Structure 1
Amino acid sequence: MSLNDWHPIRELREREAWVFENAPIAAGRRRVLIYSMDPWQLSAFEQFLHLAIERKGHEAVTVYFDGLLPLCAWENFEVAPPPRDKLRGRFAFMHGCMGIASRGISTYLDEESARSRAEAVVAGVRDPELEEMRFGGLPVGRIALRDLTQYSLGSFVPRRAEDYLTFRRHLVHAVMSVELARTILDAERPDIVVLVNGKSVMYSYMYELARLRGCAVTTWEEGGYFDASVVLANDDRAIDFPIDDASWQAARRRPLSPAEAASVEGYFARWRKQEARFYKYYGREERDIDRIRRALDIPPDAGLVSLFTNIIWDTNALGKDRAFASMFDWIRRTIDWAAGRRNEYLVIRAHPGESRLVFKTRTPIEAVIRDHYAGGLPPNVRIIGPESDFSSYEIAAHSRCCAVYTSTLGAELTLMGARPLICGTPFYSGRGVTRDIESAEQYFRILDSKEEGPGVDVVGLKKLLYLVVFKLVKRPEFFRGIHGHPQQPRIAIETFEGFPESMPVFNGIVDCILERRSFVSPPERVAEGAWR
């Protein structure tokens, strides 16, 4: 990631230092703690937020990762952690350029004694009891096991001795993180805590402890639907793209304007053509269903049932279970259902992102399935790997029944008229606009054609998608495109004079954080490239 964008900001910040002098104290002054654990390019958002909070007469405290904890944001199962000095140096450079007075987490705890205490706590728990371990009022065993799925880039189920050693290392991190969060919250007494995601190894424990204590929390994350964007949530996880009920009910009562409907339809048309954002899932999409059938050795007169899976370690899928115990439970039980149905074929489409993203999935869904069935996979089950160019859209369109877990594909297929079954709890479920599955029994009755199941409301779904894509997801004015990846935005600002009110989108974000308002409601730009 390039840090070159910060050099002109440093010069501007020094030249316009007067802008940040003598800011009046706001009525009802808030103390905002920014818990910054990752010096990625997108963290410029936190730094602009710090400055904006101070400019508005409130108090900002930025706390950053400088070591201390056993894990860091720049490591996973495949990537070794960088030297701590590198991360400290990046934070020091960024904050220095922005003129931010920040403090490292080592300010709050002594590393040696904190680690010793944590290791003693974890050592006192037997392997079979680790998952149910609690500390500081939090279910740290379950949280650590969940976060290990993302960290390990695949399914993590401790069975071997080395698995339990990994689990214990993460629990030491968990105990230290809880103690750190408790110490920071006690020392700083913030009114609001701001952090990334809320469901990942570096942020889960501060998020959970702050919520447990009744402290207001704002989470933010890469926006997903546009390059150089962010999504935010107050007292919820931004990664879940939550829409508050009041905003949804108001939107549901109001008809979409022709322009709003066209913007949703146009966006998802571009999404299907891989033109809406940076991520690409097909090389050359194969849309001929007859060729797909022949390649999969499926007779032309056989019926199709299709499943479309998520990436196992995607935080959008973790803990999003309702009718089934997990995504794999859903897949396994559907395979078992398909066994013996000779003239109907089950097609399981692995998520293309398993092999096409920067980090490859360590336990691809096909490998998990074949390992579970150990050569005994029913003959009428077909698995399409992530590298395949076979069109998910065409497979779904030609299926008697199609189903997703939490993928956005479920919303796309609903817009297309394919009426997929939604078997997990993605952001668009639970609103009465998609065919949400409430129980495994209901799911199999629908597959057996014994029940029609819930209907769809395509107009209502368009209203919901408009709220998420064009209202909830934000494109702050200081992000100007990307360097080569959505997590590496180009950062630029011409002047701090009038900041942050000179940036209507970003200023609206700051006000929503301070005033605890819905991020759907502030005025924004409209249409492609313009804002209301």
Structure 2
Amino acid sequence: MAGIQFWPEMTGLDETLLKRMESFKQVVPIFTNVIFDTSQPHANVVFTDMFSWLDQVLKVIKAHPETLFVIRAHPDESRPGKASQESVAEWVQERGVDSLPNAVFVKPDEYFSSYEMIQRAKFVMIYNSTIGMEAAIMGAPVLCAGKARFTQLETVFFPQTRAEYMAQLEEFLTSEKVSAPEVHRLNARRFLYFQLFRTSLPFDHFLEPDGIWPGFVRLKDFSPQDLLPEHSPTLKAISEGLLQGGNFLLPEV
């Protein structure tokens, strides 16, 4: 969802949460995804789906009262015009997660900074959300449960079986300190650069916000000549990819 502004503002962690964090030995944020995301069928290589993973994580939460787990819903979960019909918020309510003394649920429309939470975390848990890559760039250890674009490189801890994942999670929770190797940060930076400046094809010449729903677009008025490969780097990359076996990448500058 690059380029979409989900929130009108971003705030720091509030005093109530900060005081609650201080009463625990350690803090572990859990960043979820949206179940309808197109990445999900590809992500489910260790767990059946994200909710299957969350059910296993819930058992761990109950077994570790010394740890405060902060479950953060993805902001796209309640976006107008695209709200999820199967949400983490519903899962939290059905499982009674909010009643646990060592669990906090952050709704998708709560605007506090995830980055400040990452800075205070012992390690970070994700399913396959992009914030895992951002956390890796920040130097945080990231435990990933689902296949993501960035798991093609060594950017996060990504156990390949459910048993290995649960064992790694337990090890992280009981270790005095968890550190990420420097290669995670370097690879995450490289991956983000490639994603932003080589693989992302800009269509801003042809599309504009529809003015109704955040993240929805409509066609602009443009000349048919603008669609010729020689007039658009984006269309050139697509044309060469389809007709000449190209790699659909923008040229490096």
TM tier, shorter chain?
Answer: 0.7 to 0.9
Distance in 2, Cα, partners of 1:340 & 1:477: 49
Alignment: residue pair count: 245
Whether contact under 8 Å (1:477, 1:503) holds in the other structure is no
Whether contact under 8 Å (1:405, 1:424) holds in the other structure is yes
SS of corresponding position for 2:229: coil
- 5+ residue gaps, structure 2, are none
Of 325, 329, 353, which residue of structure 1 is paired with 2:48? Answer: 325
Whether contact under 8 Å (1:282, 1:389) holds in the other structure is yes
Counterpart in the other structure of 2:202: 475
Change (3 A) 1:405 1:374: closer
Whether contact under 8 Å (1:306, 1:347) holds in the other structure is yes
Q: Equivalent residues in 2 for 1:15-30 (5 A)? A: none
Of 366, 382, 385, which residue of structure 1 is paired with 2:89? Answer: 366
Whichever residue aligns with residue 443 of structure 1, its letter is L
Whether contact under 8 Å (1:349, 1:383) holds in the other structure is yes
Distance in 2, Cα, partners of 1:354 & 1:435: 26
Counterpart in the other structure of 1:449: 175
Whichever residue aligns with residue 459 of structure 1, its letter is L
Shift of residue 495 of structure 1? 6.0
Counterpart in the other structure of 2:133: 411
- Asked if residue 515 in structure 1 is aligned to residue 244 in structure 2, the reply is yes
Shift of residue 339 of structure 1? 1.5
- Once the two structures are superposed, residues 155-187 of structure 1 have per-residue CA deviations (whole angstroms, 9 ceiling, x without a partner) of xxxxxxxxxxxxxxxxxxxxxxxxxxxxxxxxx
Change (3 A) 1:335 1:499: closer
Counterpart in the other structure of 2:18: 293
Change (3 A) 1:490 1:339: same
- Asked if residue 284 in structure 1 is aligned to residue 9 in structure 2, the reply is yes
Counterpart in the other structure of 1:15: none
Whether contact under 8 Å (1:436, 1:454) holds in the other structure is no
Distance in 1, Cα, partners of 2:57 & 2:113: 21
Query: RCO greater where, 1 or 2, for CA within 8 Å and sep 6 or more?
Result: 2
Whether contact under 8 Å (1:430, 1:436) holds in the other structure is no
Change (3 A) 1:493 1:356: closer
TM norm structure 2: 0.82
Distance in 2, Cα, partners of 1:359 & 1:376: 25
Shift of residue 357 of structure 1? 4.1
Change (3 A) 1:331 1:504: closer
Counterpart in the other structure of 1:353: 76
- Once the two structures are superposed, residues 4-57 of structure 1 have per-residue CA deviations (whole angstroms, 9 ceiling, x without a partner) of xxxxxxxxxxxxxxxxxxxxxxxxxxxxxxxxxxxxxxxxxxxxxxxxxxxxxx
Shift of residue 449 of structure 1? 2.0
Counterpart in the other structure of 2:190: 463
Counterpart in the other structure of 1:306: 29
Change (3 A) 1:454 1:502: same
Whether contact under 8 Å (1:308, 1:403) holds in the other structure is yes
Distance in 1, Cα, partners of 2:28 & 2:231: 53
Change (3 A) 1:375 1:482: closer
Q: Equivalent residues in 2 for 1:154-303 (5 A)? A: 224-225=1-2, 277=3, 279-288=4-13, 290-294=15-19, 298=20, 300-302=22-24, 303=26
Whether contact under 8 Å (1:476, 1:506) holds in the other structure is no
Distance in 2, Cα, partners of 1:497 & 1:384: 45
Counterpart in the other structure of 2:119: 397
Whichever residue aligns with residue 523 of structure 1, its letter is P
Q: Considering only aligned residues, what root-mean-square deviation do their CA atoms show, in Å?
A: 2.9
Change (3 A) 1:422 1:379: same
TM norm structure 1: 0.42
Counterpart in the other structure of 2:100: 378
Q: Percent identity?
A: 22
Whether contact under 8 Å (2:203, 2:234) holds in the other structure is yes
- Once the two structures are superposed, residues 308-340 of structure 1 have per-residue CA deviations (whole angstroms, 9 ceiling, x without a partner) of 100122222234123333212222222211214
Distance in 2, Cα, partners of 1:427 & 1:419: 18
- Once the two structures are superposed, residues 331-386 of structure 1 have per-residue CA deviations (whole angstroms, 9 ceiling, x without a partner) of 22222112143332111111121113422122321221331x35895321221111
SS of corresponding position for 2:33: coil
Distance in 1, Cα, partners of 2:93 & 2:102: 14
Whichever residue aligns with residue 238 of structure 2, its letter is I
